[in-house]
Amino acid sequence: MRVFDGNFYYDLISIGDGKYTHSNIDITEYSTFELEFFYNNLLVSSITTVPEKPVNLYLSDSIVKVSDDVFTGNDPDALELSWDNTDGSYYFLLIENMESNPTSIYDNSNVSSINQSFNLAPTQSDYYSMNTRRFSYYGKHRIILFHINPDLAVLYEDSDDTSQNITNPPTELENAFGIFTGINADTLYVNVKPH
């Protein structure tokens, strides 16, 4: 398996579990890469371009206070995120707790599923208002905004296929199913504290 950056071919090294790596590839925004490998005597190939890093990512506050009481109604302390998106690109938001031993905000018996991270479906928006009650743990959180290519957004939207309604999956590969895509990201941090 190898990738081509327009100048050089880089042989990728298997690290197990279907993952491959190379430590000397310079990946920058707008770089175009070609992937190719042989499988069952067929050349599998694809091309992708790395999108630009999110521009003007803004977070309304770096500290939010959340209480563990029962909550109804609107969240007066909503966390506002915004970024530039003049061309209707796709973005994907991931929020994860960074504490090694996080403290739960809510009594575990009252919460159906507590996760240290959560993500939002790909969007073409330039804004997200997050209810601070979505946080499950106190402590430092990383908010990562990924600028993604449309092929990844389509794959996410089609992820509800089952054996009873299976369709041909979206693909960007020649002679195979799957995608080879570029992403770029920016990161901000928020600290969740008791109210």
Q: What is the pLDDT along the chain (195 residues), one digit of tens a residue?
A: 999 999 999 999 999 998 899 989 989 999 999 999 999 999 999 999 999 999 999 999 999 888 766 554 455 668 899 999 999 999 999 999 999 888 888 766 444 445 567 778 899 999 999 888 788 889 999 999 999 999 888 877 755 544 444 456 667 788 888 888 999 999 999 999 887
| Same domain (yes/no): 68, 146 | yes
Query: Residues 88, 127, 55, 8: what is their CA dihedral angle, to the nearest 10 degrees?
Result: -50
| Same domain (yes/no): 78, 133 | yes
pLDDT at residue 8, rounded to an integer: 93
Strand pairing category for 139-148 and 183-194: antiparallel
| Same domain (yes/no): 100, 188 | yes
| Same domain (yes/no): 124, 140 | yes
Residue 46, domain extent: 2-51
| Same domain (yes/no): 41, 62 | no
| Same domain (yes/no): 44, 88 | no
Looking at the domain assignment, is residue 95 inside a domain?
yes
Distance CA 171, CA 180 (A): 9
Give the containing element (helix H, strand E) for 150: helix 150-157
Question: pTM for the full model?
Answer: 0.82
Q: What total number of domains does the chain contain?
A: 2
| Same domain (yes/no): 94, 111 | yes
pLDDT at residue 91, rounded to an integer: 96
